[in-house]
Amino acid sequence: MRRHYFSIDLLRGIAASAVLFCHYQFFYAPRAAVKFMFDDPQRQPLYAVFWPFYTHGADAVELFWMISGFVFTAVYIGRTCDVRSFFVQRFSRLYPLHFLTLLAIAGVQFWSHRALGYFQIVQYNDPYHFVLNLLFISSWGLARGASFNFPIWSVSVEIVIYWVFFLSLRVLFRRGLWGPVAVAGFFWLLRLWVPTPVVVCGWYFFAGSCVFVFLQLARHTAVPVAVACIVLAAIQPHGRLLLVCGGTILLLGYLDETFEPRAIRKWFAWLGESTYSIYLLGLPVQFAIMTTLDIASVERARLADNAWFLVGFLAVVLVLARLSFLYVERPLQTLLRSRLLVSRGATMSDSDEVLVLGRVGVESLAVTHIEVQAGPDGVNHPQ
């Protein structure tokens, strides 16, 4: 049985869109050289409707990491995968769009500095930080601060965890839930002493892996456990983000396995497919708009107060993201895989591309072959 987790796919697309709201405040900032503290978030358009996105959009990163753990487990559990195949899957999925958006935002920042004498928001747009971004290591502790298309930082640290997952895959699920719980627990303890982004990413990623395995082992309890997690997050302050993300993913995973989400598939599949493009195109588009308005001496803050400006900005990013997925992201991914894995026959679809799996039985959790169907992407994406 093959299944696509369309609801979780949609959740990832919504999370990527939330990041756009989180970064919308940059329209109110003067420039990178000026310290900017946005002390009036309620002036942002339609704040009464979208305040969760404006206020908690940054939390989408942890959600991306947990969804990735869920999806990687769904795709790779019970499979054998060599280093070359795993690398090509990751590289073809992540690098082409990262490289193109890196060039795009470098061009925008160069244009801004040449025309206006300052960069937009991000200060470190020098050759050193360009190389860090080029090598996908911008968040490995080597940077002086945010640089170029800085949302890529979450993917940069997640790459490290991808390899931790891959290297542990042979033994990770031999004892069902205990393996991912042990690894997640290790990262949870480690973050108490070394609270780096890589460690925090590992904690959320393997927590997402636990959610998937739990769903397969105790599916009949998924709904009450998911509701309990969300309620617990609402009534006490500890681990709220983890509980909300985990409970939501568990509930949506159960619903996707139980019902056929035809409405979501028909009307919203495009949003899940475009997640990575939304996440990486948001800042280049925003900085290009900001530079254009600054050159025209238009007061950005007053324009940003207008709800139609918000709608227009979101529409531009979403349309470009869709075009990017259809005509850039997916074709380049297919091309690279056909060239680099052509001698190996049909390749397994990327765990961030598709959320498809076979039902895993309790007794065969560690060895079940999960059939993966070629299809559209999902995240972390962000992720």
Is 70 a domain residue? yes
3-state SS, residue 264: helix
User: Would you give the DSSP letter of residue 363?
Assistant: G
Distance of alpha carbon 378 from alpha carbon 358, whole angstroms: 17
Task: Provide CB contacts within 8 A for 204, sequence distance 6+.
Answer: 62, 65, 66, 69, 242, 245
The C-alpha atoms of residue 207 and residue 214 are separated, in whole angstroms, by 10
Counting the structural domains of the chain, the total is: 1
Q: Note the pLDDT of residue 372.
A: 32
Which residues, in sequence order, are CB contacts of 146 under 8 Å at separation 6+? 122, 123, 124, 153
Q: Is residue 382 domain-resident? A: no
- Each of the 383 residues of the chain gets a pLDDT tens digit; together they read 346 788 898 899 999 999 999 999 999 987 765 667 777 889 999 999 999 999 999 999 999 999 999 999 999 988 878 899 999 999 999 999 999 999 999 999 999 999 999 999 998 999 999 999 999 999 998 999 899 999 999 999 999 999 999 999 989 998 889 999 999 999 999 998 888 999 999 999 999 999 999 999 999 999 999 999 999 999 988 889 999 999 999 999 999 888 877 777 777 888 888 999 999 999 999 999 999 999 999 999 999 999 999 999 999 999 999 999 999 999 999 999 999 886 555 444 444 443 433 333 333 343 333 333 323 333 333 33
Q: Which of 172, 232, 235, 175 is nearest to 205 (CA)?
A: 172
In this prediction, residue 39 carries a pLDDT of: 78
Q: Does residue 379 sit within a domain?
A: no
- One-letter amino acid at 334 equals T
DSSP 356: E
Give buried/exposed letters for 234-252 (b at 16+ CB in 10 A, else e). eeeeeebebbbbbbbbbbb
In a domain, 144, yes or no: yes
Residue-level pLDDT at 291? 96
Domain assignment of residue 72, yes or no:
yes
Q: Where are the alpha helices (DSSP H) in 57-82?
A: 60-76
Q: Tell me whether residue 117 is in a domain.
A: yes
Residue 61 is which amino acid?
V
**Distances 91 to 103, 236, 333, 362, 371 between C-alpha atoms, Å:** 17, 41, 9, 33, 22
The answer to whether residue 376 sits within a structural domain is: no
Q: Which is nearest to 153 in space by CA: 166, 163, 141? A: 141
DSSP 269-290: HHHHHTHHHHHHHHHHHHHHHH
8 A C-beta contact, residue 20 and residue 82: no
Asked if 116 and 133 touch (Cβ cutoff 8 Å), the reply is no
Strand spans (E) along the chain: 3-4, 356-357
Residue 47: CB atoms within 10 A of its CB come to: 17
Residue 350 to residue 75: CA distance in whole angstroms: 8
Cα–Cα distance measured from residue 3 to residue 356, given in angstroms and rounded to the nearest whole number = 5
Q: Residue 161 is which amino acid? A: I
Domain that holds residue 247: 3-364
378 part of a folded domain: no
